[in-house]
Structure 1
Amino acid sequence: MIAGKRIILGITGGIAAYKGAALCSKLAQAGADVHVMMTESAAKFITPLTLQTLSRNPVLIDTFDERDPAVVTHIHQADHADLIVVAPATANSIAKLANGMADDMLSTTLLAATCPILIAPAMNVHMYEHPAVVENMERLAARGAMFVEPGTGQLACGYVAKGRLAEPEDIVAAIGTWFAGNGILQGKRVLVTAGGTIERLDPVRFLTNDSSGKMGFAVAEAAKRMGADVTLVAGRSSETPPAGIKVIRTASAADMLDAVMREFPDTDIVVKAAAVADYRPATVHEQKVKKTGEKLVLELERTTDILAALGERKTHQLLVGFAAETENVERYALDKLKRKNCDLIVANDVSKEGVGFNGDTNAVDVYGPEGLVSSLPLMSKRETASRLMELITDRLSSRGGDRS
């Protein structure tokens, strides 16, 4: 899938720049047309001649080093690239890209690019976890940038922690996966639900849950990246919707039910990642409820089970549900799969550290009628979403992918 692709490899100034040579070599061996851009700092770690020899193309560093008068180099490069890979991406280079700075060949080209961008961060663990760096990466991800998560290992500073550049073969694998998945869902309609619901008690109070919507938003982003026509039905969430996706905002479980049912008939894949309230106040007060004693007893009534309703009505759709559990995960997941007529259930134990609501990571087990399909270890929710969409696409393909 990489052969014949024009890839810009951006190497920035971190000690991991030496791995850029191996990455460049592997991409060239895979048949890619590799064009290397280095920052001046990167050239202090590894020589441009090395990358030129491996890529068999001139290495670009200086924006003003215009060698072909017929073109403006950074615009020409940006217009003709199929993918830009920044590896290693330092905290500085990530900040520049997130804030639209363009003061060298690489950052100027990135700002002019319309092709996908894959970023492989590498830095000290405290830098990687700094709120400013986290915010910059989230901003870039919201704009559609893809990330290859750094690994855990010996860092140049002496720490053994997260921040080590992903191995070149892992980055090449991620590139291959992206090219393989790009367009694989072209012509398919995917419906994703995300976030929590709000069930009103009175004008100033409501019942809700801890769902941030991050997992559902990541799934929508992954489906869009595969070429699908994506509709995201979003409940309570502060997440920024991925670009190019139709978003329907809802509040209550009833609102979400109505929106989902309108979209459902023409949908091919439904991924119901939203955390929908099981109960709502039986009475919604028009005015604020005042304190009347030491205790307040609320009467709650069941909401409509959206996943079960979809399971009853599905015809050609591939239906994927989520199950957030704190015990007996497999038993509850398989029971939910059967009762609600799902094709797959994505289950996680939200009592474990780093798993579930609000965080940026997740670890899930995916179940089908045959039992455990895949167990995905702790990783970013965006990576989890990509892996999930690959499983979902395989499942769709295995049954023909057509409407019956």
Structure 2
Amino acid sequence: MKTKINLFAIFFFASLLMASCVSEASLSADNTIQSFSITKENITKEFPIEGNSINGIVESTFELENISLAISIPKGANINPDPATIKSISGPLTFVVTAENGDVKTYLADIRREPSTDNFILELNVKTPNLVLSADINNERGLVTKRIPEINDLKNLDVELKFSKHATITPDPKTIKDYSEPVNFTVKSESGAEKVYQVKLEYMNNYISRSCSESNASKWFGGDNRTNAPDILPFDRNIGTGQTVIVDKNLVPSTFRIHLQEGFVYYEGRQKYNKPVTLKLIVKDANRNILATTTTEVSESFNGGFIPFDLQALNLYLEANKKYSFYWYLVDGEKLGIYAASSANTKAGDGFCFTSGYSGESRISKNNSLEDANVWFDHDWHFNIELVGKE
């Protein structure tokens, strides 16, 4: 009986041992990396696997930052570190792949980016108290130029300079304040190529004057005292005039003039006002944002002609080929009830004197004013103006 029990124990142990051997033999020993790729945005790069190494070079424009890494391994195996956790590559990476049966294989991935050859100044901005002025850059000539308003000190400028990524620049732009003379910068690319730029900043000191004086029409300007005009109450409305201004070169304006054909009078009775009046000017950008406002006084002896607005204290800067709107009106025109005539040209043409005009009308009875943007509308005529300043 005892012999039978011992035989059974031996048989049972042998069975367990055989089962264990069969189980271990069925586990995979495959611990290879089957594919290796990097995706950035919508671009995917595949890299060859040679033995225990994965090597590759990507273009200089393919930044190895904010990437997704995809590594394929056999079923049942695992890899460390987890490729999903790697978002950038700045040097060689080591991956350990462990097969299902515990066998380990180590891979070295060395993916590099080609050194960039870019050695450009991309942007130079002069920061002033009121404006940021962007310089003109000629990469072929290695020349950076900008004319800036005379109100700024060339010996103490706040200049921001941007250059190619991965490149270096000497001297450090942050240490340079004096641009009273041209300043040379050397931009060195990541690959070692150097390019010299000369930065030349000068004052806007070229005096210019543009005048639009051809006139074949006139438009009501100011208030209205008529008692028998249809749909108009006396001493209720005020009519203003406006003109689009586009300059072909950057300009610091000093004076803006408008033309009225006559002095201010009452329509009924044609009696002259014979007192000084105040006109207001509003300057807006292309988005109708107010850039500046000012006033000018017209003497009691004014009988027609150009009326100046002094813009020097406004520190205005008009950029070339951008649209600006100049609006002017008689202050308290409704209550005064006096009017004059804005001179205009109805002919078609091109250039400074043939941009679109505006007209505006406010009424006390409607509780609005010519300060409100919604009372202004486009007008087909080109109004007579003069603009003086420095380029």
Length-normalised TM-score, structure 2:
0.24
Greater per-residue helix proportion = 1
The higher relative CO (CA closer than 8 Å, separation ≥ 6) is in: 2
Greater per-residue strand proportion = 2
Larger radius of gyration: 2
Length-normalised TM-score, structure 1:
0.23
